[in-house]
Structure 1
Amino acid sequence: MFTMSPGRRHRLAAVCLALLAAVLLILNIGLGIHYNKLTDSHLTLDDTERISKELVDLQDTYKTAVETMKDASKQVDSEMSRQMQTNWELEHQTKRSNDYKSQMEKVTKEIETMRSYLSMLSDGCKHCPAGWILMNSVCYYFPLKSNEVKTWKESRDFCQLQGGDLIIIDSRDEENTTVNYLKNYEAHTVMRFWIGLTDVHEEGTWKWWDGTLLAEGYWNDGEPNDHNNEDCAALYPKANFYKSWNDVKCDAQMKWICEKAPKSLS
């Protein structure tokens, strides 16, 4: 069934009343003209009084119609004001809903990230020493909870004492996983990490600590540039993991990443 909103009904009523007032005004004018013509004819006193009464009644009806039209116009204005406030509230609630949706999406993403970390930590407890995590079937150590920093050589010495060495990133998946883990962990803190790559023996020939030539690098724009004899590589966690490496002076102090084989995955 067709329904009409209150505001539309009020507007329609106002239009109808305006038309009625116009018709009554026209009739009033017409009767006045007709009455003037009749004054030139021979009318009785009763005819004159009757016409005068009809004119008075018509004027009263016209006044009533005008007042009714004014009341209807006020109702329309009031309804429009309420409708405007309703629109404002709807806009406000829509914005709040969108804000809540964005927050929920952010929290959901953080929960999923935490779940993946819990899995890494759980598996790490089974196959890696305390403080190490298991990713890509390899045990990794990230000194994220301490303020300790080391040179490139000191970092290698530390990793070797733990039965491992500085990380060798020889696949795109390992680069992506490592950078994403660090990026999500460090949040707004800027950190940099030694990796097991250097050209200290031959400038421009980058090799991993085991002597393997670098096959695919993930250098930042303009890197490596050997500025002030920079012969060791460091990883800077970025959203674009393809541009996360810089060459750095080997005696610089920074954090590091160790890796070693797990105990047993069987």
Structure 2
Amino acid sequence: MERAPGRNVDSRFNTLICEEDMHDEGQPNYSFPFSDEGMQQAPRSSMTHHRLAPVSLVLLAVVLLMVDIGLGIHYNDLKDTHLTPEDTERISQDLTALQDTYKAAIESMNDYMKQRNMEESRQTQTNWEMEHQTKRSTDYKKTVAKMTEDIASLRYHLPMTRDGCIQCPPGWILRNSMCYYFAFSKIDGLKSWPKAREFCQSHGGDLAIIDTKDKENATVTHLLGKLDPEVRQGFWMGLKNTNVKGIWKWLNGKTLVEGYWMDGEPNNIDHEVCVAVYAKENFFMAWNDVRCDAQVLKWICEKAPTNVS
């Protein structure tokens, strides 16, 4: 008769252990705070709290398991001795309280998981929208750049004067009310600075004078559109060192005010007193001084257009 209560406690203890195993197998292995206040604060906590929550539940599960084992050992020690009704009732209450605490932890974990998943979903959508807006901004910038180039091209090719249209010979292009010839053709070959100037003069012009930032930018941009930047091909222009105190002068007699030299240039090595321009993305660093008799460069001619009324 004295062991009857013990068997009742044993069955309850086994029932608790079975239910605990069922929860362990059916629930994810995470840990979370299980007070209402903790649940309200969790979504606003930092990533550190997100990492600490699973660790907390794991520790709780370990503690509960240790309590289960301790109670089981304690019960086994007592079941062969005399148990009073008060002992049986106390053990039953401890096991019931432990089971309720474990259920509350599982419920808190599930609620916390739902809230965390909702926050992650909202963050993912925010990231998608940011990527979308960034792409739109990049596309707009490309469109604006293309439109700017198109407008500049129209300005170069379609200028009008009061006397009528102005035009250039075939093979020449119109820019800033001047005609330019770029010796891209293989037929033109390569020339020295004096020979290139003779070619321009024979067509009613001279080597190009690139004496402003806008002219420099337009010239280099045109070269980049026709040449591979990796191909180091220079083009003679109408600038030369007079050898008078190292003064550089344009063919129209004006002294150079602002140059767009490459790093370390001009260095005047081996009597390099003539200048060539190259296809460089940074048009502020596109000039180099070269020996005037070097027959290794192309050239750019310049002349006034013909008015057609």
For the criterion TM > 0.5, the same-fold answer is yes
Contact 2:239/2:274 (CA < 8 Å) preserved in 1? yes
The question of whether the paired residues in 2 share the 8 Å contact of 1:17 and 1:65 is answered with no
Looking at structure 1, the residues matched to 149 and 220 of structure 2 have their Cα atoms a distance apart, in angstroms, of 14
RMSD: 4.1
What secondary structure, in the 3-state scheme, does the structure 2 residue paired with 1:207 have?
A: strand
Moved more, 256-265 or 87-96: 87-96
Match of 2:167 in 1: 127
- Identify the residue that residue 5 of structure 1 maps to in structure 2: none
2:304 aligns with 261
Distance in 2 between residues matched to 1:187 and 1:115, nearest whole Å: 24
CA distance in 2, matches of 1:249, 1:73: 81
Q: Number of residue pairs matched?
A: 221
What secondary structure, in the 3-state scheme, does the structure 1 residue paired with 2:35 have?
helix
Q: Is 2:157–2:175's contact at 8 Å kept on the other side of the alignment?
A: no
Q: Report what 1:6 is aligned to.
A: none
Taking structure 1 as the reference length, the TM-score comes to 0.63
Amino acid at match of 2:239: L
1:262, distance to aligned residue in structure 2 (A): 1.2
Q: Residues of 1 paired with 2:150 and 2:186: CA distance?
A: 20
Question: Partners in 1 of 2:185 and 2:97 — Cα distance?
Answer: 89
For the residues of structure 2 that align with 1:107 and 1:18, how far apart are their CA atoms?
51
> Alignment partner of 1:155: what SS?
helix
Stretch moving more, 92-101 or 243-252: 92-101
Identity over aligned pairs, percent: 31
Deviation at 1:110, TM superposition (A): 2.3
Q: Give me the whole-angstrom Cα distance separating, in 1, the residues matched to 2:121 and 2:185.
A: 52
Give the conservation status (yes or no) of the 8 Å contact 2:208–2:302. Answer: yes
Structure 1, gaps ≥5 residues long? 1-10, 20-47
- Pair 1:98 & 2:134 matched: yes
Matched with 1:168 is 209
Counterparts of residues 69-218 of structure 1 (less than 5 Å) = 70-123=106-159, 126-144=166-184, 148-183=189-224, 186=227, 188-189=229-230, 190-199=232-241, 204-210=246-252, 212-218=253-259
Which residue type is aligned with residue 255 of structure 1? K
1:212-231 matches, within 5 Å, as 212-220=253-261, 221-231=263-273
Map of 2:6 onto structure 1: none
Counterpart of 1:227 in 2: which secondary structure? coil
| SS of alignment partner, residue 257 of structure 1 | strand
Q: Partners in 2 of 1:201 and 1:87 — Cα distance? A: 68
The two structures have a TM-score, normalised by structure 2, of 0.55
